[in-house]
Structure formats: C-alpha cells, structure tokens
Chains A and B, each alone.
Chain A
Amino acid sequence: MIVDGSEVSLKKFLSDLPPVDQVGAEARASMLATRSIKTTSKAWAIDMAISMVDLTTLEGADSAGKVKALCAKAVRPDPTDLTVPSVGAICVYNDMVKIARTELDAIGGGDVAVAAVATAFPSGRATLTVKKLDTQDAIDAGANEIDMVIDRGAFLSGHLGEVFDQIKVIKELCGNKAHLKVILETGELVTYDNVRKASYLAMLAGADFIKTSTGKVAPAATAPVVLVMLEAVRDYFALTGTRIGVKPAGGIRTTKDAIKQLVLVNETAGSEWLKPSLFRIGASALLNDLLMQRMKLRTGHYASANYVTMD
C-alpha cells in the first residue's frame, strides 16, 4: 500500500507529487494534436474510436424509447455496414439501466456494457447514504459500470480523506459486479496540479477508470487535462503494476478530436492503453461523425448527415 488509509499519509503522498508544468503540458498536447493520421491508419483509428465510444444520453428528457433507439445504434452503429464494430458502452441515468440492459440483451448486444451515472450525478451534492443507495440501485438494475462523481467541494476545501473514503465505499459496493469510473470534473478543479492530485486520489481509492468530466461543465475534456491524466495512469502503473483506464468526456464531437485523443494515449500512456478496456470516449454526437468519416473512406465520397440517425 502506498498510503495506509489515513488522511495524513494521503495528504503527504499527494502533496509530494511533482507539480504539472502548465506551459509544457499545453505545448505538448497541442504539438501532438498536429499529427496527421491518414488512410489505413485513419481507418484503424476510426474503428478503434467507435469501439471506445460510451454512447451517452444524460438529459432530463430521456425516455425509454430514446434509450432503446440508442441501444440499437450502439450494437449496429451503421445498419448498412456490418463491418462497423459495436460501441463500448451505453451511458445512462440509473432509471434507464434496466431498460438499456434488457434491450441490449434482446438485440444481441450482450457485449455492450451499460454504464450508469450514480452518486448524485452531476453535482455530487448528496449525503453518502443517498450516494450508496444510488449506486446499489444501479448495480441491482444490471449496470456493468458505475460512473461516480467526486465531491469537488470537499476536494477543493482540502478534505481529501472524505473524498477518498467516499470513493472507497462506492468501490466496495461495486465489488466484482461493476467497474468503477471516477469523474473528476476537471472543469471545476481549476488547475492541472489539482487534476493530477485528484487522479492519484481516485486511483489510490480503487477507481478502475478515471474520467474527466460529467459533460455538464465547460471546459470538459481538453487535451492538456487528458495528457495530465494519462501521465498519471502511466506513472501509477510504474508504481503499482496496475493499469487504470482513462475516459475523456464532453466536447469531443469530431473524428479529428477523437483521433487526437488516440494520439495522446499512444504517445503518453502507450499502446497498451489503446483498447476499449482501458480507454473510452464519452460522447453522443461523435459517433455520427465517425460513421460519416468511415463512409467517406469506404466510398471515396464526402458523406452527408442525412445518412446517419438523428439522436
């Protein structure tokens, strides 16, 4: 154990982390964004990105019908082309988990996971009792993955032990039944140093994945933030031998954005992370753009949004 569970040892470990070189991180992220990925590499990257998408709908207006439609899209993103892989997961609110799981199983999407946003998503402002019930409810409904939010208020006020304990409790609830993704909401953490600290805190507390944002706060998954988090999982692997996944979410809308993320992964954490079990992209509009780019590669013609679904 790197930390013994006491707040003192946790604080000591996190404050000993080297600070992030802000200018360096931003320069490196923007330099990696200029890589040009073409032809066969692009085709590979598009399919990889599709299989990494956590197809997300987190709106107050979500209905069973919309979730079912999204399930169909998750399993067969392009019904006219069976070579398109299924997406990684469907990401929904708790009450839609059962509907999504049943629908996916019914249409041959057993491999597609259902991720539930729990613990008073997106603000995280609820008592631990409610957060536990929220999580248990999602697991009981058949969620394979739990996307929990951290208590940013507590984190920013320095109550690191409280944040740590909450993640730990939720992790225990998940057990072997569900993967735990911890949402840092980097848009509210203000500095890259905080992003690095929160990443380590989440990993030490037992996160299987660290996720940038809820998608409800801007800025969301900016390239430097993802870079800092990828460095954190890489260093954590060197320290412990455990590979933690990363999930950028929010603001990734085009194929170009997605491929830039893959370049970041490959150049920072390494090619080991280039698989859906260790890297996911939380998105909704992105999938259509990936499909259109795929059509362009296949047919040689620029594609039209009239040929993909409106979600």
Chain B
Amino acid sequence: MSRLDINKTYKLFIAGAFPRSESGRVYEIKGAYKKFIANPAMASRKDLRDAVVAAKAAQSGWANATAFNRGQILYRIAEIMQGRSEQFVDEICALEGVSNKAAKTQVDEAIDTWVWYSGWCDKLSSVTGSLNPVSGPFYNFTTPEPLGVVAVFAESKPSLLGAVRTLAPVLAGGNTAVLIASESYPLPVITLSEALATSDLPAGVVNILTGKTAELAPWVGSHMEIDGVDVAGLSKKQEEELKLVGADNLKRVFRFTPSNHPERILGFMEQKTVWHPIGL
C-alpha cells in the first residue's frame, strides 16, 4: 500500500513565528516544465505592516548585541543550512529546472556567503571606521551604525543564493530585515526561514514574506518605518516608483552588483562621528 503524501503548508515568517497570511490568500507556483509545485501564502500589506512592527521591535536588541555575537549567529545559520542542504537542492532543482550539480553549487555558495558576512561583523568598524585627527584636545572617531529596518527584495535567480546575498549583509551591520521572497521562486527562501528560526537568531530580526512583488513594493516604498531597501528583485520601473514614494523619509534604496562585497553592508549603515574630550 502506498503512503499518502504529507504536503507542506508554506507560510510566512514574522516575529519568529510562522503565520498564514492575514488575508488568507495563497497563490500557485509552477516549477520547470509547468509542473505544479506549491501554494505559498500571498502576503498582504497588513502582513508587511506586522513584519515591520516585528523588525522594529527586534532592532535595538540586534544592533546592541556585540558584533562578535552577531557573527557567531550568522555562522550558526550556515551550520543549520548545511544540515538541510539536500532539501534546498531538491527545491532549487524543482523550481529552477537546473541540474543537481548546479543546485548543489548554489547551496554551497549560499552557505559560504553566510560565513563570509559572519566574518565581517566584528571587523567592520575597524576596517571602515577611523580615528580622525582634529585641531583640539579631542578624540574624534567615526564608526558605522545600522540604519534600522531594511526591506530586501530577493533576486529571483539564483533563488537561494540571491536571497542570502541580499539578506546576510543587512544583518551583519546590525539592521533587522523584512525579506520579500521572489514571486516565482520562493520555496528555498521559505526553507531558509526554517533554518533561521532554529539558529539563535532573535525573533523578528528576519521576517520573510511571500507573495506578489508588485503588490507589496509600493507599500514598502511608502512605509515610514523602513529605512532602506535593497531592490535586487525589482524591475527598473518598480524601483523608480518605490524611490518616488520613499522620498518622504529619505529611504536609502540600493541595487548592488550580484556579488559579495562590504559595500552591501555599509550601504545600510551610517557613519557616526563622536567627539570626546581628551583627559576626561
């Protein structure tokens, strides 16, 4: 007798929990060869609002954790992903229609990306900060500080690597994130949320939404609590529209070249300069 399939309900990841969309909506995704794959949740603007509330609440705790501790946690994400690498490979194969070998390379690269950015956490301020010479009896030093809440539109392809290389630098700098998964290839990102949930990452530091990019992008743009956006997964036109509505709170909007670079961390940080009298 054949066993019944246990099909998975794909949900959102908000404040460390896995809720369904407030709207109750789902949408269908098809993989390579137009084969039905899954019905992930279709997040609404209210799910986005909840995600931002969670990210904002988690922000000071994450930013105030020691840089070394943040690095440890990012490394731990890599460890957890390594243990689930087969699941990632299967999902990437089914969705993107690539070979098993190519999928495996992508997963390895994604895991290495976490390790790479975890190393940056406690080196960032030494490498990019400075002790400035001034003409007076003052110490004057400049250090990078996180912006706050950053929204990330993950690249569609490569589905897993694209999400990780936009997300990891945001976290490394001490920002909290709302990640909007690629509309057509969300499954590896949903599985990533399960890895994040079991990796010592405090609840709310990463919140993951799946759904229609075009529906969520304007709300991300106009949300006053979101301080920066990585628009890797948006079209040029969507990016322009987002910048237009985001001008009200001077939102920082970036599109980086698809590679790992400390500029990705620094884009969502501000250099803070402190004057301190010598001798006190």
Contact = CB atoms under 8 A, between A and B. Distances in A.
Interface in B199-254: 219, 222-225, 245, 248-249
B49 interface: yes
Residue of A300, A304, A306, A307 most packed against chain B (CB within 10 A): A304
A301 B245 CA distance: 9
A305 B225 contact: yes
Contact of B219 (A302, A303, A304, A305): A302
B275 to A, nearest CB: 24
A301 to B, nearest CB: 4
Interface in A279-311: 300-307
A303 B223 CA distance: 6
B266 interface: no
A211 B52 CA distance: 34
Contacts of A302: 49, 52, 219, 222-225
A300 B224 contact: no
Tell me whether chain B's interface is mostly helix, strand or loop, or mixed: helix
B165 interface: no
Interface residues of B, number: 11
A307 B250 CA distance: 13
Contacts of B225: 302-306
Interface string B104-115: 000000000000
Nearest to A295: B224
A129 B118 CA distance: 65
Contacts of A306: 224-225, 249
A301 B56 contact: no
A301 B224 CA distance: 7
Contact of B223 (A301, A305, A307): A301
B38 to A, nearest CB: 29
Contacts of B56: 305
A301 B248 contact: yes
Contacts of B248: 301
Contact of B222 (A300, A305, A307): A300
B118 to A, nearest CB: 30
Contacts of A304: 223-225, 249
A253 to B, nearest CB: 12
A305 B52 CA distance: 12
A255 to B, nearest CB: 12
A304 B222 CA distance: 11
Contacts of B223: 301-302, 304
B146 to A, nearest CB: 14
Nearest to A301: B222
Nearest to B246: A301
A78 to B, nearest CB: 14
13 contacts: A301-B222, A301-B223, A301-B224, A302-B52, A302-B222, A302-B225, A303-B224, A304-B225, A305-B56, A305-B225, A306-B224, A306-B225, A306-B249
Interface of B: 49, 52, 56, 219, 222-225, 245, 248-249
Given A302-B225, A305-B225, A307-B224, 11 more contacts: A300-B222, A301-B245, A302-B49, A302-B52, A302-B222, A302-B223, A304-B223, A304-B249, A305-B56, A306-B224, A306-B249
